[in-house]
Amino acid sequence: SEIESSLVKISDWGGLNLVQFNPSKTQVCAFTAKKAPFVASPLFGNTHLCAKPNMGILGVDISSVFQFGGHLESKAKMASKKLGVLNRAKQYFKPAHRLKLYKAQVRPHMEYCCHLWAGAPGYQLSPFDRIQRRASRIVDDPVLADRLDPLALRRDLSSLCILHRIYNGECSEELFNLIEAADFRNRSSRRNYHLHHLDGWRSTTMRFKNSFLPRTVNLWNSLPSAV
């Protein structure tokens, strides 16, 4: 009933502001740890919305259990196909041009929203690492191939950039209030804390420990003070 009342407010707002929503393109997905299925079918614009096990947001497929396995596999397949095209045509390009084509046409598929799946299990990320090694062989120039940053570094950098925006309030107020800067810890023999140290979250499950905020905050706290 709360969901339906919110949808009614959205419809009323759209009517007042000349915005028409399309219920047929509205997605419903229940994010919960409960094993019982989500059976509610909220009404939106005289249309019943059926819950699905996954949903797509800005090109990212998210499952109800927050697993990105299917999305990772689809991105890896797309990148592999494009790399195969580059491999068949490599005789027509110099190594430097092959590297540029890889960075422009293939690698973006493996970097898009990579901060979301940085904490995914390692076996799901191995296809990307294999594609990276295959691309190095196609470039066939060790000096140029060494310029490619590891994908793990790109994922960490992306996560830290997002956390940096949250830390400086460049986000919604609700998201900003999720993290609070801890008091500066005086130097001790055990560990040194930098001025921007953040309190972490204790977790008893790997699923929560590998989620975005706990994992990225630990990475943030481990940065050198100068950084």
Is 63 inside any structural domain?
A: no
Helix (H) or strand (E) holding 173, with range, is: helix 173-176
pLDDT at 191: 61
- For the whole model, what pTM was predicted? 0.67
pLDDT of 38-47, one tens digit each? 777 888 878 8
Residue-level pLDDT at 82: 92
In a domain, 224, yes or no: yes
Examine residue 57 and state whether it is found in any structural domain, yes or no: no
* Residue 59 in domain: no
41: left (phi over 0), alpha (psi -120 to 50) or beta: beta
- Give Rg (Cα) of the chain: 22
* Predicted pLDDT of residue 188: 47
* Shared domain check, 99 and 32: no
For residues 78 and 132, state if they share a domain.
yes
Q: Are 90 and 177 in the same domain?
A: yes
Residue 84: what pLDDT? 92
Which one-letter amino acid corresponds to residue 186? N
Q: CA-CA distance, 104 to 112, in Å (whole number)? A: 12
CA distance 167 to 164: 5
Residue 132 sits in the same domain as residue 199: yes
Q: Specify the pLDDT at position 187.
A: 47
User: Which residues in the chain show pLDDT less than 50?
Assistant: 184, 187-190
What pLDDT, on the 0 to 100 scale, is given for residue 124?
56
Q: In the chain, what's the furthest Cα-to-Cα distance? A: 65
The residue to which tokens 């190594």 are assigned: 95
103 lies in the same domain as 30: no
Residues 75 and 33 grouped into a single domain: no
Residue 62, domain member (yes or no)? no
208 and 158, same structural domain? yes
**Total count of domains within the chain:** 2
Residue 60 counted as domain residue? no
Residue 48 sits in which domain range? 2-52
